[in-house]
Amino acid sequence: MVAQGHLLAYDLSKLHIYSNTLQAIAAGYLIAAIVILNMRIVWQVVTTAALLLLFWALMMLVPVPGYGAGVLTPDGNLAIYLDKLILGRFQDGTSYTWILSGMTFGCTVMLGAMAGHLLRSEKRPKSKVLWLLAVGVASLVLALIWDIWFPIIKHLWTSSFVLFSAGLCCLLLALFYLVIDVWGFKKWAFGFVVIGMNAIAVYMATRLFDFRRIGSIFVGGLDKWCGSWDTFIHAAAGLAVIWLILWWMYRKKAFIRV
């Protein structure tokens, strides 16, 4: 709510209870934590599949007043209807959905947890890469097939979108695991490690402070020579300011986690 819900405006007429990716992650983690702490891996898989199917059934079979069943338009789908019904004036006014989509947020986190189970297993590193590649390709294929009946829609976080995004993530994870952990090429990634170790901190900091303006203090005098490159240079300076702060935190072993 601080990041995008206008909480710090201290004005109820502007407040949005759900409006940000962090809240989607929180809902997903809540569901995934309950599943992981209480079920064996096989039942984790079954529960994830069941949630994907249940979300599909609710979205396609439950009629929405004034629209009917199976409507996935921005105003006529079940998820947005429930958001408006439950949140009322605190709904963010966009086509993104939150409450019912929490089911599929949980599935996204669960699929990430399953990738974690694989990486923590005793399988050989190259076998893990092959498994990630196979799962990634299979997820993409299933998503594209399901898209025929239940479209890939990010704003609704549809079940097909969960599989599609998970497939892409598995392929990228396989690539980086191969390059960094199996082949041992690690030094090039240090810049990303500094950011990733304090991902929540930098995400919120960029919502609260204008680092680009701070960076412009140091590069503003170059505008007369940079021409059309001035926008890029100011953005790069802002990024440099953020990165140096995160680097200092990294060296001090100051990691902000939730």
Mark whether 126 and 68 lie in a shared domain: yes
- Residues 39, 155, single domain; the answer is yes
For residue 110, which of 161, 166, 182, 70 has the smallest C-alpha distance? Answer: 166
How many structural domains compose the chain? 2
Name residues of the chain where pLDDT drops below 70.
none
Instruction: Answer whether residue 1 is part of any domain.
Output: no
Alpha helices in the chain (DSSP H): 21-38, 41-61, 78-87, 102-120, 125-146, 159-176, 190-196, 199-208, 211-219, 223-226, 230-251
Instruction: Note the pLDDT of residue 228.
Output: 87
> In one letter, which amino acid is 36?
I
239 and 130 in a common domain: no
Task: Specify if 123 maps to a domain.
Answer: yes
Question: Tokens 């529960």 — which residue?
Answer: 47
Does 223 share its domain with 130? Answer: no
> How confident is the model at residue 204, as a pLDDT?
92
pLDDT given for residue 223 in this prediction: 87
Are 119 and 161 in a shared domain? Answer: yes
Q: Which residue has the tokens 């690539």?
A: 175
Residues 214 and 245 in one domain: yes
pLDDT, tens digit, 9 for 90 and up, residues 70-92: 999 999 999 999 999 999 999 98
The residue range of the domain holding 144 is 7-183
Q: Does one domain contain both 15 and 133? A: yes
Look at residue 4 and give its three-state secondary structure: coil
CB 215 within 8 A of CB 237: yes
Task: Give residue 118's identity as a one-letter amino acid code.
Answer: L
Q: What is the pLDDT of residue 37?
A: 95
Q: Is the Cβ–Cβ distance between 63 and 85 less than 8 Å?
A: no
pLDDT of residue 252: 95
Predicted local distance difference test score (pLDDT) of residue 224: 87
The answer on 153 and 30 residing in a single domain is yes
pLDDT (tens digit per residue) in 18-43 = 998 899 999 999 999 999 999 999 99
Residues 56 and 175 occupy one common structural domain: yes
Q: What is the pLDDT of residue 226?
A: 86
CA–CA gap between residue 138 and residue 181 (Å, rounded): 23
